[in-house]
């Protein structure tokens, strides 16, 4: 007797978005779209344009790009309404220009890096819609994106972080000279200046001379209302991929060896020779195990779930390590560090996607069991 096959899960890949990492997202979408098993999933590509409008891609197309390689095209066709009332726990999209067109999504797989995709805003929308989604939830996403809050929580948990100070735009305008004097006295030179809530090194500058600090601050404030001034460590850049919900695990470690002065946006995405990836990283076994352990602890401290890439600085002189940041929606191209680390640990790309979808459905099921009405 022939067994009935399980129905396919409808996956909606959400990509693009209103952030400086829009193009990076298109690259991640191309890889995820290509790798999802069509025997298990019906896959819909849903692009979010720079203006925030959503567009279902009726005929998804992967194109070549001179800077980014393969990326998912984003065609602005139709006028799509996002709705979750039509079917419970599913996302429905209607083309109001053609009311016969409807798309139903069981699980959202966001590859929206940066602002309005990785910072808890999208996750809040999906929570309200009661739709399962891949990646950290609202709290984990928001805290992971905010370098200042993340550092405070990590420090409270006893996890080493690089010394820094955070400044908001209004205080900077009123007290720039005082702030620069205090930063230089506390942190010394060289420094890194970073927008608090961006990823992919957008808005980041390295400052070697005190005369360059004001310019770096003004540049960073173009991308956020708060800026972090951080002590520059002469370090190796070590990364660990973490996967799971209640019982997460860490991958083998990898090392990024930038050919630029630091791992800038250009080194990450524009310059094909911007950096080399070494997996596994050449680190003493005991130290590597300690870093993996702290990666998982940091992940749990910030309330992460599903996945995150945890980045460390390893001081070249002292061999002391610092947790730099936790990226809750890391790059997801086939050559990105997160999937490559899991591949080196024994989990191939397509199986990694399966795990992430399973984690999304499991977390959603448990959240539906929570009582939301009064006693």
For 313-339, the pLDDT digits (tens) are 999 999 999 999 999 999 898 778 999
Distance CA 298, CA 317 (A): 24
Asked if residue 139 is part of any domain, the answer here is no
Distance CA 300, CA 280 (A): 23
In whole numbers, what is the pLDDT of the chain averaged over residues? 91
Asked if residue 3 is part of any domain, the answer here is no
Residue 88 pLDDT exceeds 70: yes
Asked if residue 374 is part of any domain, the answer here is no
The predicted-structure confidence for 2-12, as pLDDT tens digits, reads as follows: 455 779 999 99
Is 226 found in the same domain as 315? no
With bands split at pLDDT 50, 70 and 90, how would you rate the model's confidence at 273? low
Least confident piece of the model among 79-83, 121-125, 293-297 = 79-83
Q: Which domain holds residue 47?
A: 9-133
Question: How many domains are contained in the chain?
Answer: 3
The predicted-structure confidence for 160-187, as pLDDT tens digits, reads as follows: 999 999 999 999 999 999 999 999 999 9
Q: Tell which of 184, 207, 231 closes a domain.
A: 231
Distance CA 83, CA 103 (A): 10
CATH of the domain at 184: 3.30.1490.20
Task: Name residue 117's beta-bridge partners.
Answer: none
Asked if residue 2 is part of any domain, the answer here is no
Q: Tell which of 231, 246, 266 closes a domain.
A: 231
Return the number of other C-beta atoms located less than 10 Å from residue 339's C-beta. 28
Distance CA 107, CA 362 (A): 11
């Amino acid at each position: 007797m022939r067994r009935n096959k399980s129905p396919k899960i409808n996956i909606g890949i959400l990509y693009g978005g209103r952030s400086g990492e829009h193009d990076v997202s298109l690259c991640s979408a191309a890889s995820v779209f290509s790798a999802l098993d069509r025997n298990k999933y019906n896959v819909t590509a849903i692009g979010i344009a720079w203006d925030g409008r959503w567009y279902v891609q009726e005929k998804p197309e992967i194109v070549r790009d001179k800077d980014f390689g393969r990326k998912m095209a984003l065609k602005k066709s139709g006028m799509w309404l996002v709705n979750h009332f039509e079917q419970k726990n599913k996302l429905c999209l209607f083309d109001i220009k053609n009311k016969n067109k409807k798309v139903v999504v069981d699980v959202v797989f966001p590859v929206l890096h940066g602002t309005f995709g990785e910072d808890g805003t999208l996750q809040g929308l999906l929570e309200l819609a009661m739709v399962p989604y891949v990646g950290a939830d609202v709290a984990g996403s928001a805290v992971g994106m905010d370098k200042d809050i993340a550092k405070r929580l990590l420090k409270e948990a006893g996890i080493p972080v690089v010394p820094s100070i955070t400044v908001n735009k209004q205080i900077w305008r009123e007290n720039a000279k005082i702030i620069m004097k205090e930063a230089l006295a506390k942190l010394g030179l060289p420094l890194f200046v970073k927008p608090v809530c961006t990823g992919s090194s957008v808005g980041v500058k390295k400052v070697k001379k005190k005369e360059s600090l004001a310019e770096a601050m003004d540049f960073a404030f173009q991308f956020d209302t708060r800026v972090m001034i951080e002590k520059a460590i002469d370090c190796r850049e070590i990364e660990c991929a973490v996967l799971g919900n209640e019982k997460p695990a860490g991958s083998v470690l990898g090392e990024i060896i930038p050919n630029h002065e630091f791992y800038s946006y250009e080194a990450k995405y524009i310059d094909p020779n911007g950096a080399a990836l070494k997996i596994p990283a050449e680190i003493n076994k005991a130290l590597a195990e300690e870093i993996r352990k702290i990666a998982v602890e940091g992940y749990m401290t910030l309330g992460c779930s599903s996945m995150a890439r945890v980045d460390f600085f390893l001081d070249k002189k002292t061999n002391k390590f610092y947790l730099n940041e936790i990226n809750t929606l890391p790059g997801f191209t086939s050559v990105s560090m997160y999937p490559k680390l899991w591949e080196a640990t024994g989990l191939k790309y397509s199986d990694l996607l399966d795990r992430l979808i399973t984690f999304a459905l499991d977390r959603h099921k448990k959240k539906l069991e929570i009582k939301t009405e009064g006693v």
